[in-house]
Structure 1
Amino acid sequence: MPHGLLTIDCGAVVRNWRRLCETHAGGAVAAVLKADAYGLGAAPIARALRDAGCRHFFVATVEEGEALRATLGEGPMVAVLGGFPAGKHAGLTPVLNSLDDVAAHSGPAILHVDSGMSRLGLALDELEKLADNPALLDGLEILYVMTHLAAAEDPQHPLNLVQLTRFNEACLRLPRARRSIANSSGIFLGPRFGSELARPGAALYGLNPTPGRPNPMEPVFTLTGQVLQLRNIPPGQTVGYGGAWLATRPSRIATIGIGYADGLPRALEGRLKGRYRGQEFPMVGRVSMDLMTFDVTGIRAMKAGRWIEIIGPHQDADMVAGMAGTIGYELLTSLGRRFRRDYLPA
């Protein structure tokens, strides 16, 4: 039986999506479900969003797309950001990232223009060729022309307006089509960044799209670890590898069955807090591969078999990631497959 539990509230995901729909200064709002819905489980989340009215979904790979199409059935758009070979994978919409992609495909597609990210998308020289020879698009049904913002989490970053200007200028040189601009943070940049389709991902799952300001999104999940053993130790006794923590008083130590093999970084040593029935207490010692230890001295109700909250409303994924020197995206997508995942209905 797994010793870690992720409880995912599909209703909270749906409410976050609706909040983004209300905030986006434009048309529809898609759902980005790449990396198995950022590690939380694409299938149940996709069904909840579909039932709430979401009709546009994005994934990273063909394999993710095929699994999502099987989950959703016919109807909603399932677009693959990394594209795929022509003539295969019926029911999926390719994102065209180069002139070679444009030449290889026919039918419905999304055209990606690189406005400053310098990763995927048509580069400036390719855009020039396409603008000079629009016949290259013959046979394609361009559903959207999209770009991807590189610095939207910082409203003052000059690259935001640079990218918006480049993208608008590119669209003027292409056959008229609906546009897709904003990611999670871009939705909060205001009306200029509105378009016919926004593409949030992280905000759906409760990560803060407005760093440095209050999180406008609702928490989506909690992570708890089961107490495997409790032991009383005297002053002067150490806990964990390297003797990294030394008891300075008689202490009660709870060991839970999750560790860095489950995506909890070793850098959390000395920083992470646990919570049980409203009481907070420190993690002590180092994060091990499969185990973590907490000083629960004074928590009288604590017993073996109880569950300690690691990530939740008191300490969300962004906070825990910050403790480890990383970002919520990385932490969330690293959460291990050994966890049981329980889904609360929408």
Structure 2
Amino acid sequence: MSVESPESGAYGATLTIDLDALVSNWRLLGKRAGTEAGAVVKADAYGIGIEPAVTALSRAGCRNFFVAHLSEGIRARKVAPGATVYILNGLLPGSGGIYAEHELSPVLGSHEELLEWASFRQTGAKVRPAALHVDTAMNRLGLWPGEGLNLAREKSGTLAAADIGLLMSHFASSEDEADPANARQIAAFAEIAAVFPELPASLLNSSGHFLKDCPSYQLTRPGYALYGGNPTPGRPNPMQPVIGLEATIIQTREVEDGTQVGYNGRWTAKGKRKLATICLGYADGYPRNGSWTDTITGGSALVAGVACPFVGSVSMDLIIIDVTDAPAGAAQRGASVTLIGGPLDLESVGAGAKTIGYEILTSLGRRYERRYLGG
């Protein structure tokens, strides 16, 4: 089923989101791991919307969701009342009451957080079990492995008072199968998991599902791959595409050789060219680094299947594309061009904008008409 905005046609660009593909990707990853798959739905479910994503995944059987912020967890809880919702960024000082009110689970990654959470639980507050994060390489959040081992040896005190229900760590380089850091992290986490035999554990992120000789443990945490991103860079993408982005041509013109185009005239026509301006810019989440100049290449759009490069700077609300090579009649006022879809997958779009597919996804703007399929 397609759900369209009541103001369909009032937008300059359309973002299509296939919730059935999202669910298929989640099922594929769970099957590959041979264990239960959760879902990382932080950053507004990587740009596609927490509420529709969590609703579709919950209906498909997903029981564990991971977000970054409490505000995201509250949104997820409203549409998944029976699920476990983990807050990856941990316990902010004084936030215990919010966790209790919305039945959310903090991911605890420091002694300070453990002490505060244990103290809060001792007030008699009704809360769900927390997760314990052990840092095995990122040096970003989490306890040192030695701290985790010491906690396990206590078998009482702070750890018992905190009521931990999940042990986890996070890969730093799992998208690069050849990186020796992966083996070091796998070994470090295995040592920690061995001294917490009573706890379910979680290590695999999206790319981790495709690492050889890596235990799946009891729960995995895919994110990017759920939304169609390639978890195996440099190899064929095993995931189904989830999003497509199209924008409308609002004007065309022909320019002569030597004509400068866009802000500061950074692109110069080489010969007579036909240009089209589309309703989309960096205010819609398409990075300004996708600009083409006389010396730097950038992004492109598909016009009737033909790749047409951007010309000049990506501006706030508009992008100019060179449609000279598009089929006759394809590039005209009111026609749609593809910004994401087909050969313009997340990885190639990210490369054209000198960034990564993750940033493209999580920057998807609010000015699109959003069409949800399936779910």
TM-score (norm 1): 0.93
CA distance in 2, matches of 1:193, 1:212: 23
Partner of 2:22: 13
- Secondary structure of the equivalent of 1:100? helix
Partner of 1:278: 305
Asked whether 1:113 is paired with 2:134, we answer yes
Deviation string, structure 1 residues 99-130 (Cα, Å, up to 9, x no partner): 22222324511111111111111124532441
CA distance in 1, matches of 2:272, 2:184: 60
Asked whether 1:147 is paired with 2:169, we answer yes
Deviation string, structure 1 residues 28-75 (Cα, Å, up to 9, x no partner): 000100000111211111111111111111000100000110122x21
Asked whether 1:57 is paired with 2:65, we answer yes
CA distance in 1, matches of 2:330, 2:246: 16
For 2:48, which of 27, 40, 57 is the aligned residue? Answer: 40
Partner of 2:289: 267
- Secondary structure of the equivalent of 1:261? helix
Partner of 1:77: 84
Residue type at the aligned position of 1:284: V
Partner of 2:31: 22
> How many Å apart are 1:191 and its aligned residue?
4.7
Deviates more, 1:87-96 or 1:112-121: 87-96
Residue type at the aligned position of 2:361: L
Deviates more, 1:268-277 or 1:285-294: 268-277
CA distance in 2, matches of 1:217, 1:273: 23
Deviation string, structure 1 residues 172-204 (Cα, Å, up to 9, x no partner): 333521110100000111353311000000000
- Secondary structure of the equivalent of 1:177? coil
Residue type at the aligned position of 1:229: Q
Residue type at the aligned position of 2:89: G
> How many Å apart are 1:233 and its aligned residue?
2.5
CA distance in 1, matches of 2:171, 2:224: 14
Partner of 1:313: 342
CA distance in 2, matches of 1:30, 1:122: 22
RMSD, matched Cα:
1.8
Deviates more, 1:55-64 or 1:226-235: 226-235
For 1:98, which of 73, 89, 110 is the aligned residue? Answer: 110
CA distance in 2, matches of 1:145, 1:299: 59
Partner of 1:3: 12
User: 1:287-326 maps to which residues of 2 (within 5 A)?
Assistant: 287-297=314-324, 298-326=327-355
**Alignment check: 8 A CA contact 1:58 1:80 kept:** yes
Residue type at the aligned position of 1:5: T
Partner of 2:261: 239
Asked whether 1:66 is paired with 2:74, we answer yes
- Secondary structure of the equivalent of 1:281? strand
TM-score (norm 2): 0.87
- Any unmatched runs of 5+ in structure 2? 1-9, 122-127
Partner of 2:364: 335
Query: Kindly tell me: are residues 131 and 143 of structure 1, through their superposed partners in 2, closer, same or farther at Cα, counting changes over 3 Å?
Result: closer
CA distance in 1, matches of 2:332, 2:216: 52
**Alignment check: 8 A CA contact 2:230 2:238 kept:** yes
- Any unmatched runs of 5+ in structure 1? none
CA distance in 1, matches of 2:279, 2:364: 14
Residue type at the aligned position of 2:249: V
Partner of 2:206: 184
Query: Kindly tell me: are residues 114 and 208 of structure 1, through their superposed partners in 2, closer, same or farther at Cα, counting changes over 3 Å?
Result: same
**Alignment check: 8 A CA contact 1:134 1:174 kept:** no
Partner of 2:6: none
Residue type at the aligned position of 1:312: G
**Alignment check: 8 A CA contact 2:14 2:368 kept:** yes
- Secondary structure of the equivalent of 2:129? strand
**Alignment check: 8 A CA contact 1:187 1:193 kept:** no
CA distance in 1, matches of 2:315, 2:135: 42
Residue type at the aligned position of 1:16: N
CA distance in 1, matches of 2:303, 2:110: 52
Query: Kindly tell me: are residues 162 and 238 of structure 1, through their superposed partners in 2, closer, same or farther at Cα, counting changes over 3 Å?
Result: same
Query: Kindly tell me: are residues 8 and 333 of structure 1, through their superposed partners in 2, closer, same or farther at Cα, counting changes over 3 Å?
Result: same
CA distance in 2, matches of 1:87, 1:237: 62
Deviates more, 1:143-152 or 1:235-244: 235-244
- Secondary structure of the equivalent of 2:96? coil
Residue type at the aligned position of 2:331: M
**Alignment check: 8 A CA contact 1:262 1:337 kept:** yes
User: 1:126-205 maps to which residues of 2 (within 5 A)?
Assistant: 126-135=147-156, 136-174=158-196, 176-205=198-227
Q: What percent identity do the matched residue pairs reach?
A: 44
